Amino acid sequence: MSGEVAGRIALITDASACIPSSHLSRIDLRVVPINVQLGDEEFRSGVDLDDRRLYRALEQGLPVKSSAPSPLDYLDAIEEAGDVPCVIITPATEFTRMYTNASLAAELAGRSVTVVDSRSATAGHGLVVLAAAEARDAGGQPDDVVAAAEEAASRAELVACLETLEYLRQSGRVPALALGLANQLGIRPVFRLRNGTAERLGLPRSEQSALGRIVREWRAGGGPQGRRTAVFHAARPELAGELARMVGEVSFITEFSAAMAIHTGAGVVGVAWLRPSDGELAL
């Protein structure tokens, strides 16, 4: 039955969704690569990019940049799906051009294609994709799949900490003096991503304090009552394992997209979950 259902509706997302291979192997999902340039060489995240090589390039200060899938990249994925309705799920519009590019591809496709903004990123975005896949594989029609994705997007939560502020410094958006002082103090900023908005929650001065703050936010945000929780990390599996033990109720641990780590550096660790609905809280 799953093959028949999967053949009726094609789900498309991108390589930043942080869905582990163990889950990808069980669902029919088309993943559009993100283009990454390391020096003079070009790679595709999720296809031929060696994450370890990217992290080495970042450590060595080599030129590294990424670019969102183009409208033609999305159009190729739509055409490869065959003559079936398509649902494309992208990260929040505030962080990338993916929604815009996917929407243009939908217009060019000339058939039923709906684009959904997950209102999140990385593992939060991935949870929205998994909710859509669950609705599709349960026999849902395109409208049901879109509704499931939009409903999950309205409840997607993500809290994480950074290991270094160096990559924020490179962005030029924060005064270098303030960042230099923060790094000297060993500060590990904790931030929340909700409804397309990034919000700083605190500036813990140790790794353990940062993990503790993440767990407290997960609990306060209904994580224990939520349907699915994911822990994610950028090249720090041991730290992610420790966070998962502290949370205690984890659906899976997944690697942070290397294409996203270009903007944060290695060492990001956090948790994403779908906030429970009022009905779930009442149970």
Query: Cα 254–246–194 angle (5° rounding)?
Result: 60
pLDDT of residue 260: 81
Q: Is 171 exposed, middle or buried (0-12, 13-18, 19+ CB in 10 A)?
A: exposed
The residue that leads in pLDDT, 152 or 52, is 152
Q: What is the average per-residue pLDDT within 249-254?
A: 93
Fill in the amino acid letter for 168: L
pLDDT in tens, 116-169: 999 999 999 999 999 999 999 999 999 999 999 999 999 999 999 988 766 555
Locus of tokens 């923060």: 182
pLDDT in tens, 230-245: 999 999 999 999 999 9
Strand partners, 252: 230
Residue 3 pLDDT exceeds 50: no
CA distance 50 to 105: 28
Cβ neighbour number for residue 102 with a 10 Å cutoff: 31
Q: Is 185 exposed, middle or buried (0-12, 13-18, 19+ CB in 10 A)?
A: exposed
CA distance 44 to 47: 5
pLDDT of residue 181: 43
Q: How far is CA 47 from CA 18, 50, 130, 231, 259, in A?
A: 14, 9, 20, 23, 12
Comparing CA positions, the residue from 31, 36, 106 lying closest to residue 72 is 106
Domains and CATH numbers, the chain: 2-33+69-153 (3.40.50.10170), 156-282 (3.30.1180.10)
pTM for this prediction = 0.89
Residue 38 pLDDT exceeds 60: yes
The residue that leads in pLDDT, 49 or 9, is 9
pLDDT of residue 12: 98
Residue 112 pLDDT exceeds 80: yes
CA distance 10 to 109: 14
